[in-house]
């Protein structure tokens, strides 16, 4: 492959993303993790599946960063996931330290790369990577909105008994309980869901979307969701690698757009070879803007907590 993607953290999300990238033949993949043998073992296992899955992507695993040199994209999933009863925010002190160390290592060998952050609490981890890397804002972005929108789409499809392919949904804001699903901009074959189902069903779906991560943590008990998160991160990587210029909701550093300043928060962006190529500002009602502002306040609080941590 002529493109290389490094995934730091060869755990559930990282290894699944590696599998999807390789099976789509989008790039060669380097898996990096601190646990000896794990990235090497998973890369070898995926390599041995390649003849059956019919792809020629090259996968390697390592504990050091040398093989990550010159990566087009680096997806950072390193960190701890939450357990039942924990919020994403409870992970902040552990994961901030990990994010800083990982980013320092990555930028030394891949100064022109695009960083896709996955570790939680997502919006706060984007700040750590942004500040540590010193990269311009078009090259640091976070995965959350695509996952939250995919959950919303899955629930719309279940509710109406229609193909997921006909569904489209938008979820803005931070990746937490204050996320802002937008029913007005969520459609089935172009028809807003507000015309297809009663308000109480929309409210129930919005609520399930907000708690989508916790629902899975509650079922798994030993970790958090990873199939859909990996798919979401790979959709972002694909749009960059193929310069597709997809409009996708991603955590993005805002400098006044949507009335929000100096904060990573999920908004629709155009994603291409240069990373974030445009921030799309859609018109929000007063109620939607208030919900987005509330979500931004929650992210701002996390940013304040970061300031008080020594990581
Ligand atoms: N943004 C989202 O929507 C979203 C969705 C799912 C998971 N997540 C987050 O992604 C992270 C990973 O989740 P997971 O389920 O894959 O967890 P996991 O425990 O399966 O994998 C995490 C991996 O990171 C590795 N790691 C820890 N410190 C490291 C370091 N300094 N350098 C390299 N590797 C290191 C661990 O050894 C482990 O293999 C968690 O923080 C989780 O909350 C975010």
Residues 221 and 214: their CA atoms lie apart, in Å, by 10
pTM of the model: 0.97
Is the C-beta atom of 71 inside 6 A of ligand 1? no
Nearest to 209 by CA among 232, 183, 187: 183
Q: Facing residues of 271 across strands? A: 246, 276
10 Å CB burial of residue 173 (0-12, 13-18, 19+) is buried
Distance 17 CA to ligand 1 centre (A): 12
Give the nearest ligand 1 atom to 122 CA.
1
Residue 203: band (very low, low, confident or very high) from pLDDT cuts 50, 70, 90: very high
Residue 275 has a CB neighbour count (10 Å cut-off) of 25
Cis-peptide into 121, omega within 30 deg: yes
**End-to-end CA gap in the chain:** 37
Angle at 219 between CA 215 and CA 225, to 5 degrees: 65
The answer on pLDDT for 52 being more than 90 is: yes
Which pLDDT tens digit goes with each residue over 29-49?
999 999 999 999 999 999 999
Is the C-beta atom of 96 inside 6 A of ligand 1? no
Look up residue 8 and give its two tokens.
């730091």
Q: How far is CA 243 from CA 45, 47, 274, in A?
A: 30, 26, 8
Which pLDDT tens digit goes with each residue over 294-310?
999 999 999 999 998 87
Is the C-beta atom of 284 inside 6 A of ligand 1? no
Long-range contacts: 226-229, Cβ < 8 Å, 24+?
A: 226/11, 226/12, 226/13, 226/16, 227/16, 228/147, 228/150, 228/151, 229/13, 229/16, 229/118, 229/143, 229/147
Give the nearest ligand 1 atom to 38 CA.
39
Is the C-beta atom of 59 inside 6 A of ligand 1? no
Residue 179 near residue 172, CB atoms below 8 Å: yes
Q: Strand pairing of 180-181 and 246-255? A: unpaired
Residue 86: band (very low, low, confident or very high) from pLDDT cuts 50, 70, 90: confident
The answer on pLDDT for 266 being more than 90 is: yes
């Amino acid at each position: 492959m002529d493109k290389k993607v490094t995934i730091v953290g060869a755990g559930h999300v990282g290894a699944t993303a590696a599998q999807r990238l390789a099976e789509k033949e989008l790039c060669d993949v380097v898996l990096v993790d601190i646990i000896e043998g794990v990235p090497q073992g998973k890369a070898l296992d995926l390599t041995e599946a390649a003849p059956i899955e019919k792809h020629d992507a090259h996968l390697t695993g390592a504990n050091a960063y040398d093989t990550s040199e010159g990566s087009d994209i680096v997806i950072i999933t390193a960190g701890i996931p939450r357990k039942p009863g924990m919020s994403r925010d409870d992970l902040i002190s552990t994961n901030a330290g990990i994010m800083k160390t990982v980013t320092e290592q990555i930028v030394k060998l891949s100064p022109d790369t695009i960083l896709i952050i996955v570790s939680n609490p997502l919006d706060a981890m984007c700040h750590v990577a942004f500040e540590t890397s010193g990269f311009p804002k078009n090259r640091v972005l976070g995965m959350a909105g695509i996952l939250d929108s995919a959950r919303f789409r899955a629930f719309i499809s279940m509710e109406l008994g229609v193909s997921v392919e006909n569904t489209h949904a938008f979820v803005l804001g931070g990746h937490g309980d204050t996320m802002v699903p937008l029913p007005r901009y969520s459609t089935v074959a172009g028809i807003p869901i507000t015309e297809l189902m009663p308000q109480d069903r929309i409210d129930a779906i919005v609520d399930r979307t907000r708690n989508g991560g916790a629902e899975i943590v509650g079922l798994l008990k030993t970790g958090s969701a990873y199939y859909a998160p990996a798919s979401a991160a790979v959709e972002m990587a694909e749009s960059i690698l193929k310069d597709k210029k997809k409009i996708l909701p991603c955590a993005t550093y805002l400098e006044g757009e949507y009335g929000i300043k100096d904060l990573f928060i999920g908004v629709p962006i155009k994603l291409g070879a240069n990373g974030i190529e445009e921030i799309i500002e859609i018109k929000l009602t007063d109620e939607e803007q208030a919900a987005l502002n509330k979500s931004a306040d929650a992210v701002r609080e996390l940013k304040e907590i970061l300031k008080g941590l020594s990581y």
